[in-house]
C-alpha cells in the first residue's frame, strides 16, 4: 500500500511528513473563528482483500505502534433494546473498552506511532478531556512526553487519568476553543508535534479504523451509523474508513451517517442547514461534544453533503434519558456524549427500516463523568444497618 496526503479543499497532493499538518496554501486564508482550512486526508493506493489486516491500511508500519490493545472493540447486540425498539439488527460499538476508555485512543495510537517513526518524542494537544487522557495513556506506553491543555471545567476523572499517566497538564481558564489555540501556539513556540484534533492528519486517519472494524465484524457495511459529534473528527474518520472501503471495492455503498449533536452545541448541523459556520457559545452536559468552533467542520460538512448524511439534534434531557435507558436495558454505561448517539436513534427511529443494520457509536465509558451521570439517578439518602429497616 502507498500513502500520501491530499488537501481536502484544493485537492493538491503532498508527501506525508511530520512537518506538514494543514495545507500550506489553503491554511493561509484561515479565519480564527472558523473551522480549520486545508485539513489533510491520507490517500491510499493499492489493493486489499476482505480479510485485510487493519494495520495494513494505515500509513505507519506496525513496528512503530506502542504495545497496548487499541481498537477491536466489541459490538453489542443489545437484545432487550432490539425487542423494545423493533430493530432486528441494532448494534452498539463499545469504544469505552479502549485502554483509556474512549474512542480517542484510535487517533492517539496512530499519532504516537507516526511520531515514533519520525523520532519525535514530545506531543502536545488541547482536549475537552478524552483526547488528552488518551494521548497521555498511549504516550505512557510509548515512552513519549505529553503536554496537555485542558479547560478547567473538564471532568475530574479525565484530569486525574492524564496526571496518572504522567502528562504535563496546563489547566486553562477558558473554553476548549481557547485551550486549542494555546496548544497550537505552544507547539509553534516550544516544539513537539501537535496531536490536536483535525490539525494533525493522523487523528482523522486513526479514527477511520472503527469503520474498517465494523466492516469486518458485520461482513458488510451497515446501513446506518450514528455518531456523536463535536469537532467532527470522529464523523470524518467514520466517513474516511468507508471511503477507503469503497475505493478498495470491498463495499459498494456508503452507509447513512447521522451527525448527532447536542442542540446547544451543534455548529456542524447548523452549518448543514444554513450553508456556513456561525459562532454561538456552546452549552451541554455532554462535555466531550461541547465545542464552539468544530475544528474538522469543513471536512465533516463536505462529507455529510456529498454522501447524504443526516443531521440530528438532541436536547440535554434526551441525552440524560438515553444514557439511563442504555445502561439499564443493556448493561452498557456510556458517558453523556456516547449516549447522545443513542438519543439520536430514539429521535429518528420511525424513519428507519426495522431490518436495517444500525450501529450506534458508544464513544466513552460512563465512569469518565460520574458527576454528571450522578445528577440524574436517585442516590438513596437513607443508610441501613439491618434488613428490618428496608
Ligand atoms: C471526542 C468525543 C466525541 C466527539 O468527537 P469529535 O471528533 O469531537 O466530533 C464523542 N464522544 C466522546 C466520548 C468523545 O471523547
381 Cα to the center of ligand 1, angstroms: 34
Give the integer Cα–Cα distance in Å for 93 and 363.
8
What CATH number is given for 75-101+203-374 in this structure? Answer: 3.40.50.1100
Looking at the CA of residue 291, tell me the nearest atom of ligand 1: 8
- Copy the grid coordinates of residue 109: 495510537
367-370: long-range pairs with CB below 8 Å, 24+ = 367/101, 367/157, 367/333, 368/96, 368/101, 368/102, 368/129, 368/130, 368/155, 368/157, 368/158, 368/335, 369/155, 369/157, 369/158, 369/287, 369/335, 369/336, 370/157
From the alpha carbon of 207, which atom of ligand 1 is closest? Answer: 7
Tell whether ligand 1 has an atom less than 6 A from the beta carbon of residue 338. Answer: yes
Please give the chain's pLDDT, 390 residues, in tens: 999 999 999 999 999 999 999 999 999 999 999 999 999 999 999 999 999 999 999 999 999 999 999 999 999 999 999 999 999 999 999 999 999 999 999 999 999 999 999 999 999 999 989 999 999 999 999 999 999 999 999 989 999 999 999 999 999 999 888 999 999 999 999 999 999 999 999 999 999 999 999 999 999 999 999 999 999 999 999 999 999 999 999 999 999 999 999 999 999 999 999 999 999 999 999 999 999 999 999 999 999 999 999 999 999 999 999 999 999 999 999 999 999 999 999 999 999 999 999 999 999 999 999 999 999 999 999 999 999 999
Distance 101 CA to ligand 1 centre (A): 12
**Alpha carbon nearest to ligand 1 atom 1, residue:** 288
Q: Is the beta carbon of 284 within 6 A of some atom in ligand 1? A: no
- Between the CA of 362 and the centroid of ligand 1 the distance, in Å, is 10
Distance in Å, CA 88 to ligand 1 centroid? 27
* Number of the ligand 1 atom closest to the C-alpha atom of 198: 7
Is any atom of ligand 1 closer than 6 Å to the C-beta of 334? no
pLDDT of residue 13: 98
47: number of Cβ within 10 Å? 8
Residues with Cβ within 8 Å of 378's Cβ and at least 6 positions away in sequence, in order, are none
39: helix, coil or strand? strand
pLDDT at 177: 87
Q: Rounded to whole angstroms, how far apart are CA atoms 286 and 273?
A: 22
Pocket flag, ligand 1, residue 81 (CB < 6 Å): no
pLDDT, residue 295, reads: 94
Q: Which residues contact 278 (CB under 8 A, 6 or more apart)?
A: 267, 270, 271
Instruction: Give the residue, out of 268, 296, 363, 369, with the most ligand 1 atoms within 8 A of its beta carbon, to mutate for a pocket test.
Output: 363
Q: Is 208 in the pocket of ligand 1 (CB under 6 A)?
A: no
Contact predicate 225/255, CB 8 Å: yes
Question: Closest ligand 1 atom, CA of 337?
Answer: 11
pLDDT at 373: 92
How far is the centre of ligand 1, averaged over its atoms, from the C-alpha of 363 (Å)?
7
**Mutational test site, ligand 1, from 230, 271, 292, max ligand atoms within 8 Å of CB:** 230
CA distance 343 to 340: 5
Ligand 1 nearest-atom number relative to CA 237: 7
Pocket lining: 363 vs ligand 1, CB cutoff 6 Å: yes
pLDDT for the residue numbered 76? 98
Give yes or no for residue 265 CB within 6 A of ligand 1: no
Is 361 near ligand 1, meaning CB less than 6 Å away? no
What residue segments make up the domains of the chain, in order of their start?
75-101+203-374
Three-class DSSP category at 120: coil
Does 234 sit in the ligand 1 pocket, CB within 6 Å? yes
Q: Quick check: CB of 289 below 6 Å from ligand 1?
A: yes
Amino acid at each position: 500500500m502507498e500513502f500520501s496526503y491530499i488537501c481536502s479543499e484544493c485537492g493538491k497532493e503532498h508527501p506525508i511528513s511530520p512537518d506538514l499538518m494543514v495545507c500550506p496554501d489553503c491554511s493561509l486564508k484561515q479565519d480564527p473563528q472558523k473551522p480549520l482550512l486545508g485539513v489533510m486526508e491520507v490517500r491510499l493506493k493499492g489493493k486489499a482483500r476482505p480479510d485485510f489486516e487493519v494495520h495494513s491500511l494505515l500509513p505507519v508500519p506496525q513496528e512503530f505502534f506502542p504495545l497496548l490493545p487499541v481498537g477491536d472493540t466489541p459490538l453489542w447486540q443489545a437484545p432487550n433494546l432490539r425487542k423494545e425498539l423493533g430493530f432486528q439488527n441494532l448494534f452498539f460499538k463499545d469504544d469505552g473498552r479502549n485502554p483509556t476508555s474512549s474512542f480517542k485512543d484510535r487517533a492517539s495510537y496512530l499519532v504516537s506511532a507516526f511520531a515514533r517513526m519520525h523520532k519525535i518524542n514530545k506531543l502536545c494537544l488541547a482536549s475537552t478531556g478524552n483526547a488528552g487522557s488518551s494521548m497521555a495513556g498511549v504516550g505512557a506506553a510509548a515512552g513519549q512526553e505529553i503536554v496537555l491543555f485542558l479547560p478547567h471545567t473538564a471532568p475530574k476523572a479525565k484530569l486525574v487519568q492524564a496526571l496518572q499517566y504522567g502528562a504535563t497538564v496546563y489547566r486553562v481558564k477558558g473554553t476548549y476553543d481557547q485551550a486549542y489555540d494555546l496548544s497550537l501556539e505552544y507547539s509553534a513556540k516550544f516544539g513537539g508535534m501537535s496531536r490536536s484534533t483535525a490539525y494533525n492528519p493522523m487523528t482523522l486517519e486513526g479514527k477511520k479504523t472503527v469503520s474498517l472494524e465494523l466492516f469486518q465484524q458485520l461482513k458488510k457495511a451497515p446501513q446506518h451509523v450514528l455518531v456523536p459529534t463535536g469537532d467532527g473528527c470522529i464523523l470524518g474518520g467514520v466517513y474516511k474508513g468507508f471511503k477507503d472501503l469503497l475505493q478498495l471495492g470491498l463495499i459498494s455503498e456508503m452507509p447513512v451517517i447521522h451527525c448527532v449533536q447536542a442542540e446547544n452545541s451543534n455548529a456542524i448541523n447548523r452549518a448543514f442547514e444554513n450553508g456556513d459556520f456561525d459562532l454561538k457559545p456552546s452549552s451541554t452536559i455532554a462535555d466531550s461534544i461541547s465545542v464552539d468552533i468544530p475544528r474538522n467542520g469543513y471536512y465533516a460538512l463536505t462529507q455529510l453533503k456529498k454522501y447524504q448524511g443526516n443531521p440530528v439534534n438532541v436536547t440535554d434531557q434526551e441525552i440524560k434519558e438515553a444514557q439511563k435507558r442504555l445502561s439499564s436495558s443493556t448493561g452498557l454505561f456510556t458517558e453523556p456524549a456516547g449516549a447522545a448517539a443513542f438519543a439520536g436513534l430514539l429521535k429518528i427511529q420511525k424513519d428507519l427500516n426495522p431490518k436495517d443494520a444500525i450501529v450506534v457509536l458508544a464513544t466513552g465509558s460512563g465512569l469518565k463523568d460520574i458527576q454528571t451521570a450522578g445528577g440524574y439517578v436517585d442516590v438513596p439518602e437513607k443508610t441501613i444497618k439491618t434488613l428490618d429497616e428496608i
